[in-house]
Amino acid sequence: MIVGFAAETGDAKASVLEHGRAKLERKGCDVLVVNEVGSDKTFAADTNFVHLLFRDGRSDIAVGPTTKRRVSEAVWDAVATLLPH
């Protein structure tokens, strides 16, 4: 199980999610946590918003805006669904 993390910005060529999906494939992750960053979004904030992208084709999950603790719980919950029982 490989979980990757990416800080992404959209640009004229592709959206944040499109860049994230491309990175998911390049890096071979099972799950990629995409954190949208930019001038109005910062790492120093108390809350966060991420997208969870899955290699197996399941639907993306948007998490937030919420506390960083809740984001981490959502990441763990997503990973747990991919683990063999």
The domain in which residue 11 lies consists of: 3-82
Give the chain's domain count: 1
Whole-angstrom distance, CA of residue 85 vs CA of residue 80: 9
pLDDT tens digit sequence for 1-49: 899 999 998 899 999 999 999 999 999 999 999 998 876 665 677 788 9
* CATH label of the domain that carries residue 53: 3.40.50.10300
Which CB contacts under 8 angstroms, 24+ apart, belong to 45-53?
50/74, 50/75, 51/16, 51/17, 51/20, 52/78, 53/17, 53/20, 53/21, 53/24
pLDDT tens digit sequence for 52-84: 999 999 999 999 999 999 999 999 999 999 998
pLDDT at 39: 65
